[in-house]
Structures are given as structure tokens and as C-alpha cells.
Chain A
Amino acid sequence: MPVGDKRNCKRCLCRIGLMLSLLMPAMLMAETLRLDIRVLDQQQQPVADAIVINPETPLSTTPTTIAVMDQQNRQFTPRVLGISRGQKVAFPNSDNIRHHVYSFSEAKRFEIKLYADRPEAPIGFDRGGLVVLGCNIHDSMLGYIFVSDWQHFAQTDANGLARLDSVAAAPKKLSLWHPDQSDPARIQQIEVLTWQTSDPHTLSTTVIIERQPNIQPVKSSRFRNGS
């Protein structure tokens, strides 16, 4: 997670929190809350690389930091990169072979023809949405850049845990995207039934999502008759 994100969010949340405390004197809680959202699939397995969004926070500021989508061992690294709309992403090539990175996604169509090391310039993503990355040479390479239209979002770690800091109030709904869903471009709306209070500043919840089994691309399919 880029360091810049956190600071921006924090500032933003501070302001919201201030406004809320002025509007609702009854809420004499701490200035900000922290939300821990655990994302599990139908098998209760943690879902990594899911983007959890607080839909009540439209994008206010665009970070100037350049995000990085590296290519290591013929894999996009990270697999999923969450950025804010308008942010730029650099595509360094850490492999000693060349790649031909492309995207036919509506959010951003581009290609960086065969290159090694580091391309000339980072690429800016000016539209929100999903950008699916591929390599024209290596079919197995698949990467996602989630371009967020919202200010406040986080990406789950290997334990499926996403943390949203500096939240003024616990939202009723959350938006969620992850790469293993049936429609890759869709952003799911999830209603949170209960928030659990683990400490005075932290609320936590668990979200169950449906994960589609990964479809392996056909390498050399042998014909097999039968039904």
C-alpha cells in the first residue's frame, strides 16, 4: 500500500470527523474510528487482493505518488494494484526478458511494446474502473489495476484483512471488488449488518463474498470425447 494514501485518507477523515462532531453533539466518541474488514469466501477462506471501499467518501484528492506495477518472474507484481483516479503507475520490468504489456480495458487502453528494464514514462489512469493487464508474449501473465473513484479504500492482505483508518462513522454499506469474481469489472455493494467493537477505536466486520474458481487458460487441451 502506498504510504501517501494513508496520509491523505487521514486528513480527509479528520475533516469529516470534525464536521460530524459538530453536526451530531450526541456522538462524543473519539475523533476517528478504525474499521477492520475481513473478507472471506464461501469456503471461509481469506480472500486476498480484494479492494474494500467506503462508498460514502467520493474522491477528493488525487495522490501525486507514482504507483508501481512491477513484472517479476513473468508475473505482474502485485497482482492487484489499487490506485486513485488520476494517479500514475510505473511499469518497471524486473525480469531479464522482454514483456509486451497491454490493456484492452475500457478504463484504460494502452500497450507498452516489447521493452526491458523501465519504460520511458509512467502511465496515468484518468478514468475509474478496472484495468486488466496482459502480456502479449506471455499469456499466463494477468494483472489488475483497480482505479478508484473513491477517496477511502483498502486492499486485503493475505489474511483477507483490509483496514480503513480515520473513519468518522461506521458505514452501513461497503463497496467491494476482487479479481476472482464472475464479472471482473463489477463493483459489488455489500450491506454490513453488524459492526463489532473490539476496542473503543476499532470496529470490525466480516464480509463473505463469492469467489469464482480460477480458470486456467487452455494450454494444450487434449480432445476427450464423452459427455
Chain B
Amino acid sequence: MKFSLHQKILIFVLGLLLVSIALIGSAVLYSTNTAVHMQAKEKLETGQRVFERLLTEHGSQLLDSAAVLVSDFGFKQAVTSQDLPTIESALENTGARIDANLIALVSPDGMLVAQIGKIRGMASADLKPLLDVAVSQGAHSTIALIDAHILQLVVLPVKAPLPVAWIIIGLEIDQNFAAQIKALTNLDVSFLAERDQARPLSVSTLAQALFVTQPEDAAKARFDMHLEHSSRGDEYMTLPVPLVRNQHYQIIAQLHASLHEANEIFRTLQMQILSIAALALVLSILGALLTSRTVTRPIADLVQATERISLGNYQQPLCYDRKASAEIVALGQSFATMQQVIAEREELLSRQAYVDPLTGLSSRAAISDFLDQLLRMPPATFCVMRLNINGFKLINDTFGYEIGDEVLKSMAQTLRSLIPGAGHTARLGADEFAAVLVESDVGRREALILELIELIQRPIAQAKVSACQIRIGIAVYPEHGGESETLLRRAEIALNHAKDQKLSYAYYLAGQDERHRRQIRLVADLKVAIAQNRLELFYQPKYDIKAARVTQVEALLRWIHEDFGFVPPDEFVALAEQSGLMPLLSQWVIEQAARQCSAWKEKWKERNQRIAIAINLSAYDVNEKLPQKLGRVLRDNGIDASDLILEITESAFMENTQQAITILNQLRQMGFPLSIDDYGTGYSSLGQLKNMPVHELKIDKSFVLNLDKDSNDQLIVRSTIELARTMGLGVVAEGVETIEACHLLRRWGCEKLQGYYFSKPLPAAKFEDWLEQSGQQFSGLFSQAD
């Protein structure tokens, strides 16, 4: 997920604020909580001192009251004389005065002598520990558990003057007492007494429920002798004050400080902080929104502006808030600068794209645009010219690029002077120029073209580079096309035509473009056809006159194109030669023929009939790799060299005669029968013929087709046969279509005949049928005549 700057700022500010609030809040909570506990603790500690002081005072008062009783001489007399009624009345008197709940007189040996007050049932077990302490300390003031009552009591001797008895006076620690303590300490107080395993006894200013809900927890706080803070439901902090512990029971006081009260003090503070936090939150959100808007709005404006720039609108001045923050203003300024610079650079670039820097003429794009523009409201007619200096490379090579550039410049100058219209002339590439000539009058146009050739040719001629020729291809609107692209292309086709024909200028001829396109298509498809075996070999029989039967066939390539139908072999072979597909094509033919040869060999093994296959090799095929290639094919298919006749066109020897002869010699040694194809069409001299290591000549069909009618042909053929025989070469005639021709050729000594008289070229299967059916037909061809 991608956040906008706006959201990011908001999230950041809010996050920061929430974190701070959380931190401050928890800090305040923590410290107030601590303060509350500290306060409660201090309150408890102060309370504890007050509480202890109160108990002491209370004890002292009790002690003083008891002292009054025991020091009374009359009482002593009563005790020593064991006057029980008097003793009891004295005890009652004192009890009434100080409102004691327990007064007892005990003999030194621990026997209860007299007892008054509402609390009775003082067991000797209770008495013994009290007396022990009193005897050892002379007196005892303590908190004690008597029966089921917590008492503050004093034990004092009756001395006469040695102790003769002990007086025990006790005040019960009850609800009232606890209430008094609470009034003085401002703390809740609880007294807890636990005797052995009995249920604890409690006196408290708090609701009873508070302690007994969780006895386990309470027990720990109740009887732990250390200062401990145990809060109950976060309501109170409790300080245990141990009072008494002996083997029978223990009594503990608990002081409770209300945390709730302490919390109340801080609640206001907490509420204030919360309100401040909430206010800060709201203000920050507003502030963040405002700030982010002041940042993001100018950015959004700038984004719009850059989008406008990217659409190519450089004219509209870039607007940005000049009151925005410094960074935004800086960004806006730099965008404005960028806009200006881009505009300038683009203008420069477009000028460069439209103008050739060397000659100052238009570029290819410019003239194309110009043509488009012209065609929108076209004149009745105009022509597009493509100009090229044939062999311009020679100028550069001979005189250097500076001179070459000078030539180009002068040519541009000439063009401009003759075709002055702006944008009418362009330099397309190295030495390629184009021009649009708007001239409806054909005569004037021709004159201008000739003048142009003359003017351009002159400096080239001065440079004495005679091989360099200006060539011009011309396409005329509207005859040759209605679109700029078409016109330029057809002008180029015309230019190529001019080059091929070595013409100074040539007009585009109808169909050139289509042929051009067909050739491009055929080259592309031929490659696929070879790879996918779409080609086929047809076989045309050669009749051996001496053997009176067919001994050889010539393999001929056939290609049925999916769109164009039958493609003449001459056409696609020529294309294959031009496009470098020849090795592939030859390889296919050789392999196919060898495979067929092998198949027939197998098929007619029993009849011992052998059909040798002649294949045509072009000048491209005759290279040093050929012997090796053929050797491999023989091995792969299990055939002999004599099964394949290699027919090589006469022109194959024209270019590199010596190498060709070497290779042919190799092939001859390998055992391949070699034949010169199309003999008579080339210009091979007799000397060359003499050197050629071939077995036979194949007379071109152009001499044979009309043999029976044309006496010139008869002369040529007859002498050629004689020449061949003289040189020890075999002769084959192709294009034999009549029985008359057959007889003539036989009479002159031709050995093999090939032509439609026998059969047109047939696919392998059809040839097999033909051989079965027609083979016999020709077996006695010449026997009748003789």
C-alpha cells in the first residue's frame, strides 16, 4: 500500500502524538500511583506512631488506675487478711470507676482469688503467661486474648510490701475503641486475634466482608510481622502492626489507608491531563491537515505542471504558489527552468532531425512530412526523385572524407539551386538524396532532370573518378502512388532499376514494386520451404540411343508456392543465389536426389536396372567443399559416384576457371560423370572447353527445340556434336520434342536425348509409372527407321 504524503504526515503526527500521550499518560499514572502509595504509606507510618502512642497512653491510664487500687492500704489489709467480700467490693468500686470489663485478683501461685466484670472465663492458661511476665518485670501492660475478647490489660502486684497477690484489670478493645482510634488517626483499623487453629477474631472499623473474602491473602498480610502493603481490590493499603504473639495466640492490628481517597486527589490531575491530551490531539490533527495541505497542494500543482510539460506544452508558464514554503518555491523554480531548457533542447533536436547538418537539406523525416503535407492538397502532378552517386565510396577512399563531403555539399547546392522550394530537397543517407519536383509539364521536367544530371556530374567528373555516376529514380504522382511512403519507395525501386541498367535516370515502371515485393516474399518463404521439405524434385528421362532405353533422368526443382502457385525454378534459384540461400538449396537437392537414387536402386535391384540422376550445380556450388559434401552423401545413401551425374552450367567456369577446373578434376577422380549444361549459351572458348575435365556436353534446348525446321540450329548442333566427338566427349540434347529431331540427332551421333517427346518432368512416383508403361514404347524407336 502506498501512502500519499498527506497521509504520511498525518500518520506521523498522529503516531508521534499518540505515543507522547501514551508515554505522558503512563508516566502521570505511574507517578500519581506511586504518589498515592507513598502518601498512603506515609499516612500509615504516621498512623502507626499515633496508634502505638494511643495504646501506650491507654495502657498507662489503665496502669495508673490499677496502681491506685493496689496501693490502697485498706485493700492491702483486705488482701493479706483474705477478706473476700471486702476485696470484691474494692474491685467493683475500681471497675465501676474506670469502666473496666475485667478485674481479677490472683494469688502469687496463679490461683484466681476474685473476679468481677462482664468478661469471665479467664483460664489459667491465659493467666500463666501474663503472670510470668508480670513477675519477671514487676508489672505487665499488654494486649491479650481472653476467652473471645481482645483486651488491653495490666497486671500489677499487690505489695505488702512484697507482692502478696496480683491484680489484673482489662479494657476490651471493641468497636467503640476502634472507632476512637479511627477518629484520631484518620485510618481504618482492624484488630485480629487468632488462637491456635480457631477461627480468627476480628474487630474492625471496616465492613467485616473486607477481610474474610480472601482468607489466604488476608492471613499473609495479617500475621506477617514485616511492614507490608497489601491492597484489597485497590481500595486500601494495609499496614500490619503486630501486638502480641505467644504460644497460644497472636494479636495483630491492621491500619488501613484508603487508596481511593488518595486517588481522588489525583483524579482531577489525571482528568486535566487527559483533556489536554485530547485537545492536543484535535489541534494536531487540524495542524497536520493544514500543514500537509500546504505541502501537498503546491506539489499537486507541480505534478499537474509536469504532466503538461510531458504532453509537450512548454508555452504555458509554470504556476506555483510563491508564498509556499522555501523548498516548494525552489522546486517550482527549478521546474520552470527545466521547462524552459527542455523547450529549447527539443527545438534544437527537432531542427536537427529535420535538417541535415552537413548539407542543410531536409532530413528523411522532414521530406516525408513535407510529402505528407503536400499530399493533403496535392498539385495535379509532381514527381519524387531519389538520387545516388554510384560508387561514391571510391571518392571517399581515394580523396578522403573531406573531399567526399565537399562533393555532397556541392551536390546539395546544385539540387537546391535547381529545386529551390523549401523542404523540396533532402539528404537521406551517406550519398542518397531525394527531391520533390513539382512540375506539371513533362518536357520541362525532363529538361530539368537532364540539367540536374549534367550539373551534378560535372564536379564528379572534375574529380576524375570516372566510375562515379549519378543515378536518378523517379516516381510520378499520381500514376505511381498516392502516399509519401509509396512514392519514395517506388522512386528507390526506379533508382535501383537505373543502377542495374546503368542508366542516368529511370522512371518507375508499373509492376516493379510488385515484383520487388514478390521477390522479398519468395526469399523469405524459400528458406521455410527448404526447411519444411516443401520443394519437390521432378525427373525428366534421358533416352540412351545406343542402349535403346532410359538410363538417366535429370532432377529438376519444382516449388508450388502457397500463394503464387508454380514458381519458375529460374526465378527462385536466382533469388537463392542473391540471398545466400544457395548452399542450403543445393544441399537439399543433392540429398534428395541421392535418396531417390538409392530408393530406385533398391526397387529395381532384381531387374538390374539402374537409373542415374543428373543434378544441376551452379557456379556457387562449385567450391572446395563440394567434393567432400558429395562424398558424404554417397556414403550416407549407399550409392556410387556414377549414379549421380553433375551438370554444371557453362557460366560456372567463367569467373574462377582455374579453381573450378581443380574441383572438377577432384570430382572426376571420385568417379562422378560431369556434364556441361546449357552448352552454347555461354561464351566458353574452345580452349576452355579443351581444359575442362568433363565427360559430356549438353546442348542447350534453345538450339534443339526447332531443330527440324531451323537450318542454322541444325548447323550449330551438328558441328557441336562433331566437335564433342572429336574431343572424346559424349553429347546430350535436351528439348527434343519431335521424332524428326530424334532422327537428326541420332544420325549426327548424339548419344542421349531428353525432352517432351519422351516425357515432361515427372514426380518420382509418376516417373516410375511412366517407366513401367512407356519404357517399352521407346525401346524400338530407331529400329524401325533403320
Contact = CB atoms under 8 A, between A and B. Distances in A.
A227 B246 contact: yes
Q: Which of B81, B143, B162, B244 is the most central at the interface, judged by chain A CB atoms within 10 Å of its CB?
A: B162
A221 B67 CA distance: 10
B159 A221 contact: no
A223 B162 contact: no
A227 B244 contact: yes
A142 interface: yes
B776 interface: no
B243 interface: yes
B244 A104 contact: no
Nearest to B51: A225
Given A133-B161, A184-B162, A218-B138, A104 B71 contact: no
Interface string B58-73: 1110010001000101
A215 B140 CA distance: 13
Nearest to B160: A104
Interface in A203-222: 215-218, 220-222
Q: Which of A216, A217, A223 is the most central at the interface, judged by chain B CB atoms within 10 Å of its CB?
A: A223
Contact of A141 (B77, B161, B245): B161
A223 B58 contact: yes
B52 interface: yes
Given A223-B56, A225-B243, A215 B80 contact: no
A101 to B, nearest CB: 10
A184 B108 CA distance: 12
Contacts of B52: 225
A132 interface: yes
Contacts of A225: 52, 55-56, 142-143, 242-244
A139 B159 contact: yes
Nearest to B67: A218
Contacts of A109: 80
A202 interface: no
Interface string B212-246: 00000000000000000000000000000011111
Contacts of A139: 71, 159, 161
B299 interface: no
B160 A134 contact: yes
B195 to A, nearest CB: 15
A222 B138 contact: no
B161 A134 contact: yes
Contacts of A222: 56, 60
Contacts of B161: 132-135, 139, 141-142, 217
A217 B159 contact: yes
A133 B160 CA distance: 8
Interface string A124-150: 000000001111100101100000000
A223 B63 contact: yes
Nearest to A215: B138
Interface residues of B, number: 35
Nearest to A144: B162
B164 interface: yes
Contacts of B137: 221
Contacts of A220: 60, 63
Interface in B43-92: 52, 55-60, 63, 67, 71, 73, 76-77, 80-81
Q: Which of A109, A135, A220, A221 is the most central at the interface, judged by chain B CB atoms within 10 Å of its CB?
A: A221
B517 to A, nearest CB: 125
Interface string A175-186: 000000000100
A179 B245 CA distance: 35
Nearest to A227: B245
Q: Which of B55, B156, B161, B242 is the most central at the interface, judged by chain A CB atoms within 10 Å of its CB?
A: B161
Contacts, number: 74
B60 A104 contact: no
A160 B162 CA distance: 24
Contacts of B245: 227
A147 to B, nearest CB: 16
A223 B73 contact: no
A104 B158 CA distance: 12
Contact of A132 (B55, B77, B81, B160): B160
Contacts of A132: 160-162
Nearest to B143: A225
Contact of A104 (B55, B56, B139, B164): B164
Nearest to B246: A227
Contacts of A141: 161
Contacts of A221: 60, 63, 137-139, 141
Nearest to A136: B73
A193 to B, nearest CB: 32
Contacts of A135: 161
Q: Which of A184, A217, A225 is the most central at the interface, judged by chain B CB atoms within 10 Å of its CB?
A: A225
A227 B156 CA distance: 18
A20 to B, nearest CB: 41
Nearest to A140: B161
Contact of A223 (B55, B67, B244): B55
A224 B133 CA distance: 13
Nearest to B58: A223
Contacts of A226: 242, 244
Contacts of B243: 225
A221 B81 CA distance: 28
A153 to B, nearest CB: 22
A215 B137 CA distance: 7
Interface in A153-203: 184
A220 B162 CA distance: 18
B664 to A, nearest CB: 139
Nearest to A218: B139
Interface string B126-159: 0000000001011101110000000000001101
Q: Which of A104, A220, A224 is the most central at the interface, judged by chain B CB atoms within 10 Å of its CB?
A: A104
Interface string B421-463: 0000000000000000000000000000000000000000000
A104 B138 contact: no
Nearest to B245: A227
A136 B246 CA distance: 37
Interface in B334-388: none
Contacts of A218: 63, 67, 138-139, 156-157
30 contacts: A102-B160, A104-B77, A132-B161, A134-B159, A135-B161, A139-B71, A139-B159, A141-B161, A142-B161, A142-B162, A184-B162, A215-B163, A217-B138, A217-B157, A217-B159, A217-B161, A218-B63, A218-B139, A218-B157, A220-B60, A220-B63, A221-B60, A221-B137, A221-B141, A222-B60, A223-B58, A223-B59, A225-B142, A225-B244, A226-B242
Closest 8 A/B residue pairs (Cβ) = A223-B59, A134-B161, A104-B80, A218-B139, A223-B56, A104-B160, A223-B141, A227-B245
Given A109-B80, A142-B161, A218-B138, 19 more contacts: A102-B160, A132-B160, A139-B71, A215-B138, A216-B138, A217-B159, A217-B161, A218-B157, A222-B56, A223-B56, A223-B57, A223-B63, A223-B141, A224-B56, A225-B56, A225-B243, A225-B244, A227-B242, A227-B244
